[in-house]
Each structure stands twice: as C-alpha cells, then as structure tokens.
C-alpha cells in the first residue's frame, strides 16, 4: 500500500473509527448490488486498467479483479485499506493495488485509465464537480465512469440542515445533498455522455455509467 498526498484528517478519523463495523455490515440490497456488478462487468475487458476512489474495504474491486488487467484502488482511511489488503491476501488476488489517498490528492500516471469507479463516494466529497472533472482527465478517450451515488434531496431534504451539524460534532462525515437529476447534470457538464442510468425501487442511490466524450 502506498500513500499519496495528505488526506483530510477529520474525514480520515471518522472512517478509521467506522472501518471495523463497516466491514461487518451486510449489503442492504443484494439483488441491486449484483445487478450493478453485472452491468459494470459487461463493460470490462481483460486488458483494462481501472481506478477506484473511495474503495472502502475493497469488496467491489476484488469482485471485478478477475475481469481486468489491474485495479488501482484508493481510500483516505488507512483502517479501511488494511481490511482491503487482508481480503485481497486471503483471496489470493494480486492485480489490485491499494493506496492511501483522497481523489483530490491522487497523482495518476501518464497512460490513463480505461474505467474509473466512484461507488458510494460522490455524495461524501466536498467538491464532487472537481472530482468528476479529474475523473474525466484521468480517463483515456472513450473511457468509462461508473458511479453509484446516494441522492437525498428528493426524499430527505432536511439532511442539508442536519449534515453540517453532524460533521461539526464529529458524528457524520461530509455529506452533500442533491437530486439524481442534479448529479446527472454534473456528470454531463464534466464532459461525459450517460450510457446507463438505473435507480432500484425504494433506493436513494442512482447507478450511472457514463462515457468520456
């Protein structure tokens, strides 16, 4: 595991505290998660290089690893990454690299990535628009952005008032409140064309596959 840049200390501490409990949580909707995996894997090829930011405990990266050449996975929580590394070692997965970095700090290589995964992370960023613009720059021509993002503004708009207080008290991470349509507009404004958009029934998260144009 390598380090790049400086991660936001308060967010790091929050997710470090959460890591053991987070790793034990069951998937809330197994069928929806499986469908997202299947859709993503329909785009994967054995020669692809993938970047994932906000990888958490690495579960999704490890599921996708057999279908690509390499996955570079990053997170700002050292505790999350330690769990991810242990999972990879236990599963014998050798083509996933885990690095300690926030998306804002990551310095990509010169060749670019074929796909960027941002799963359950865009709503937790201070500036999702800047992150989307960086994803666009990191991708090869025609590369893909895959995201699954919680959009609370339509169903729980009061979180816009609660989230800053929760963050100030150290009880919550950064949490941005926006609609699915607002997120889609942000993605298109960053230079992507949306190829697939799906929101499971009763879910607050929207799943989007977008291509760099």
Q: For residue 158, is pLDDT > 60? A: no
Both tokens assigned to 20: 């053991």
Q: What's the CA gap between 97 and 78, in Å, rounded?
A: 14
Which one, of 118, 94, 143, lies nearest residue 36 by Cα? 118
Domains contained in the chain, number? 1
Q: What is the DSSP letter of 122?
A: G
CB–CB of 195/209 below 8 Å?
A: yes
Q: What's the CA gap between 205 and 120, in Å, rounded?
A: 8
Its domain, for residue 185, covers 2-212
Per-residue pLDDT, 4: 62
Q: For residue 159, is pLDDT > 90? A: no
Dihedral pair phi/psi, residue 170, rounded to 5°? 75, 15
Q: Which ranges of 56-173 does DSSP label H, i.e. alpha helix?
A: 59-64, 78-91, 128-138, 159-168
Q: How far is CA 152 from the centre of its chain?
A: 17
Both tokens assigned to 163: 């989230």
CB atoms within 10 A of CB 96: 23
Q: What does the mean pLDDT of the chain come to?
A: 89
pLDDT category at 15 given cuts 50, 70, 90 is confident
Q: What's the CA gap between 116 and 147, in Å, rounded?
A: 8
User: Residue 132: which residues within 8 A CB-CB, separation 6 or more?
Assistant: 122, 145, 186, 187, 189, 190, 192
Q: What's the CA gap between 79 and 106, in Å, rounded?
A: 18
pTM, 2 dp: 0.88
What CATH number did the domain enclosing 55 receive? 3.40.50.150
- Tens of pLDDT, residue by residue over 41-83, are 999 999 999 999 999 999 999 999 999 999 999 999 999 999 9
């Amino acid at each position: 595991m390598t380090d790049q840049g400086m991660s936001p200390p308060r967010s790091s501490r929050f997710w470090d505290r959460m890591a053991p409990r987070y790793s034990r949580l069951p998937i809330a909707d197994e069928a929806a998660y499986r469908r997202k995996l299947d859709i993503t894997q329909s785009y994967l090829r054995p020669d692809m290089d993938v970047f994932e930011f906000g990888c958490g405990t690495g579960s999704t990266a490890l599921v996708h690893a057999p279908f690509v050449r390499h996955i570079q996975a990053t997170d700002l929580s050292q505790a999350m990454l330690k769990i991810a590394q242990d999972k990879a070692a236990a599963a014998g997965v050798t083509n996933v690299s885990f690095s300690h970095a926030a998306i804002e700090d990551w310095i990509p290589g010169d060749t670019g990535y074929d796909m960027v995964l941002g799963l359950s992370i865009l709503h937790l960023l201070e500036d999702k628009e800047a992150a989307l613009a960086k994803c666009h720059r990191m991708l090869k021509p025609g590369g893909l952005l895959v995201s699954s993002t919680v959009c609370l503004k339509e169903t729980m708009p009061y979180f816009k008032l609660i989230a800053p207080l929760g963050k100030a008290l150290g009880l919550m991470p950064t949490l941005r409140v926006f609609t699915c349509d607002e997120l889609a507009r942000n993605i298109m404004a960053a230079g992507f064309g949306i190829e697939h958009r799906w929101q499971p029934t009763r879910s607050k998260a929207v799943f989007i596959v977008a291509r760099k144009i």
